[in-house]
Amino acid sequence: MKYLYFILFFTFIKFSFGQDVHFSQFTKDRMNLNPSMIGNFTDNDSRFSIQRKSQWNSVSVPFSSFSSSYEEKNVFYDFNLGIQFLNDKSGDSKLSLNQINLALSKNFNTLNLNNLSLGFLIGFSQKSIDYTELIFEYEEQFLKDNFVYPDVGIGLSYQTLPNKILSYNFGISSFHLNLPNNSFNEDENVKIPVKNNLYFGIKYDYLTNFTIIPEVLYTNQGVSNELLLGSQAEFKLDNIKIIPFTYYRLEDAIILGFGISKDNLTTNISYDINISDLDIASNNRGGFEFSVIFLWQKRKEHINKITEEICPKYL
């Protein structure tokens, strides 16, 4: 058994250092999916969201991720602005990431029908670790327990008119273009590899009150590859939307979720069922994820009132 925990420890360390924070509800975490999606919503000017995921409770100290973001359309010269705070904490070592991201995007109408968006992201990250709870067979010398680095990303997306019976959207993005150093040892130069996201989604209004949205996300970062595919459905019941969804992360997890949307507020909950090589230790238990999204309109359109004048009748 002790060998199993030994293997799990180094697996988690490799996972923590080798991959970015990523949520199963990936379309809700828009800034980390593609910065060009910032401000890409209709009928509203602003969007606020929070998202939290907890996993590996059955194996180790829970790994937790939290994201909070704010977006606003047409802040200046038709540019959209987004800001995000991200926190991630992993295992007994309390390996932590605190990150602030700023993003700008610009929308371009093509053929007066579809929408092409470009986005740019710059982030500032602090990573820290606590060695006091770790036990080493031999004495280790650590030079520092935290460091700070900048981050740069770009994105492009294309979307057809969402009010059609059949519409689609496509996006590609890249992060860590500046290859920031990711080592607690100043003498080592361990670069964070560039992460690339490729996303495609279709929205099909099968009935007036029933919509199907199949989606696929492919992520590549260094030697790591991830394919996530699935679908969500929207059932309209009076003024409420019921949104069940199911996704499959290849050779890793099955994700089951459920959401409710009313007016401008949407809440979602999902659970990852672990099917990876760690299922023996995890008993197929992954983790819960929650998200809350609120959209609102700050600017009211000025409607020019037409005054009616009664035309006199002449005999």
Which of 196, 195, 234 lies closest to 214 in space, CA to CA? 234
Let me know if residue 283 belongs to a domain.
no
pLDDT value of residue 8 = 41
CA 131 to CA 116: how far, in whole Å?
47
Q: State the residue range of the domain holding 122.
A: 2-231
pLDDT value of residue 17 = 44
Per-residue three-class SS string for 40-108: CCCCCCEEEEEEEEEECCCCCCCEEEEEEEEEEEEEECCEEEEEEEEEEEECCCCEEEEEEEEEEEEEE
Number of domains in the chain: 1
| CATH number of the domain where residue 43 is located | 2.40.128
Question: How far, in Å, are 27, 47, 81, 165 from residue 73 at the CA level?
Answer: 18, 9, 7, 25
CA 285 to chain centre: 22
Let me know if residue 247 belongs to a domain.
no
Q: Which residues of the chain, if any, have pLDDT below 50?
A: 1-18, 281, 302-308, 314-315
Let me know if residue 270 belongs to a domain.
no
Let me know if residue 93 belongs to a domain.
yes
**Do 84 and 100 contact (CB within 8 A), yes or no?**
yes
Let me know if residue 279 belongs to a domain.
no
CB burial readout 29-48, b (16+ within 10 A) else e: bbbbbbbbbbbbbeebbbbe
pLDDT value of residue 141 = 66
pLDDT value of residue 279 = 54
pLDDT value of residue 16 = 42
CA 140 to CA 185: how far, in whole Å?
12
Non-local CB neighbours of 275 within 8 Å, separated by 6+ positions: 251, 252, 253, 254, 284
pLDDT value of residue 55 = 75
